[in-house]
Amino acid sequence: MAGSALRRLMAEYKQLTLNPPEGIIAGPINEENFFEWEALITGPEGTCFEGGVFPAKLVFPADYPLSPPKMQFTCEMFHPNIYSDGRVCISILHAPGDDPMGYESSAERWSPVQSVEKILLSVVSMLAEPNDESGANVDAAKMWREHRDEFNRIAEKIVRRTLGIPT
Amino acid sequence: MAEQGENMNKTDTAPEPNQDELILAQQRQIEKEISDSIPLVGDKEPITSLNNEYSADNIYLEKIIDLSKKYKYIRRTRPDGNCFFRAFSYANIERLLGKPDEFEAFYKIAESSKDDLVKLGFQQFTVEDFYDTYMEVLKRLKNIENLNDALKELHVIFNEQGFSDYMVVYLRLLTSGQLQKEHDFYSCFIEGDRTVADFCHQEVEPMYKESDHIHIIAGCAALQTCVKVIYMDRGIGKACTEHDLPEGSAPTIHLLYRPGHYDILYQ
């Protein structure tokens, strides 16, 4: 059903181009291959990630949207819900059965009526409000909880790097 | 942009062994074994074929005797969490084949269903492909005059993963739509402080999520049809328990429930 996946991804791309959500740009890296997208996410205002522009890659499975894509930041990141290699770990990227992180049962899950837009909006919320219960990056979770000032300093450094400003 | 990303200094790039991923990989392996060995929807088999599964279990064997007085055949479905929706969707279309008037009436219900979902707030582009597939299948079957050919075609369609899963998704969406449309009624059956919409997003719309009573009742209402569920478990008594859903209705679809799984029954 890669044909259905392609049709759906084209529809989503069109939708995102016509009505782009604030602070988010996303689309296929190369229009020959709709199964790999790049996204640029602006750090939410009023948070330690404000002003940053964070690039990420989304890779879609052949049975999308039955299964969710995978998402990975391609810039340096330091965040409780992002693995050190950039992979994003939030509930909307998981089907309900895939529960290694023990998300709250009320958390939003992947289903075929979710979309790239909803994932990216969830990632923006995640940047604004880390979930320190899910330890994709335990050091970051601990620092977020116990040494917020230090966390904010690291975040600020990352923000400057994404903008190419010397740190 | 990618270049910029690669030039970043990473403090810790060595991939650590991840227990969660190992667990998931094992789960995938089990799912693969199931999908390699059990078709999405099987052929009709005599009800006594159930005996093979319970050769050393007297409680079940006695219940199979009871079951065989009422039903001649069973059609097994793959236990992948979608079994209720797949069985229900299959049996619902199967019962309509060879009955042009009833088929037409159902076709009309299905045809207008997408607009209802969009009105309820589903985004059009997320619903469209599933709706189109559902209608395409109905159209294909409607145009086959010979009943046996139509039954064969239905079976082929439901064993093609792509079509079969899209039929499952659309029925999940219709069920979710029904629950949300009648949320005042259904909210009484939802435990905890989840709203009906939350429940739908977490328990109905995602694939592989197993079905409960509430899914069945809403599914019946969405397709305007009635189901008899025969419960067979290791509980006391020689007979299986029966439930007509909705209560007091005349069921046209018969399903066998064993803890965690649904199959189709035929009289």
DSSP B163-191: HHHHHHHHHHHHHHHHHHHTHHHHGGG--
**A30-83 confidence digits (pLDDT tens):** 988 999 999 999 999 999 999 999 999 999 999 999 999 999 999 999 999 999
Residue B220, token pair as written in the block: 């019946």
Is B1 close to A40, i.e. CB distance below 8 A?
yes
Closest CA to A115 of A43, A2, A16, A30: A16
pLDDT at residue B8, as a whole number: 44
Looking up tokens 């050769």, which residue turns up? B55
Q: Quick count: other Cβ atoms within 10 Å of Cβ A30?
A: 10
pLDDT at residue A103, as a whole number: 54
Residues in a beta bridge with B241: B231
- pTM (predicted TM-score): 0.88
In which band, very low, low, confident or very high, does the pLDDT at A100 lie, cut at 50, 70 and 90?
low
User: How buried is B44 (Cβ within 10 angstroms: 0-12 exposed, 13-18 middle, 19+ buried)?
Assistant: middle
Residues 6+ apart with CB under 8 A from A86: A56, A72, A73, A74, A75, A77
Mean pLDDT of chain B: 88
Max distance between CA atoms of chain B, in angstroms, equals 72
Is A7 close to B129, i.e. CB distance below 8 A?
yes
| Strand ranges in A63-134 using DSSP code E only, listed in sequence order | 70-73
Q: Which residue of B12, B19, B125, B134 is the best one to mutate when testing the A interface, meaning the one whose CB has the most A CBs within 10 A?
A: B125
Task: Give the mean model confidence (pLDDT) for residues A101-126.
Answer: 84
Residue B6, token pair as written in the block: 């690669």
User: Does the CB of B10 have a partner CB in chain A at under 8 Å?
Assistant: yes
pLDDT at residue A99, as a whole number: 58
Looking up tokens 């009871």, which residue turns up? B66
Is A38 close to B27, i.e. CB distance below 8 A?
no
pLDDT value at A160 more than 80: yes
What CA–CA distance (Å, rounded) separates B200 from B211?
11
Under-50 pLDDT residues of chain B: 1-14
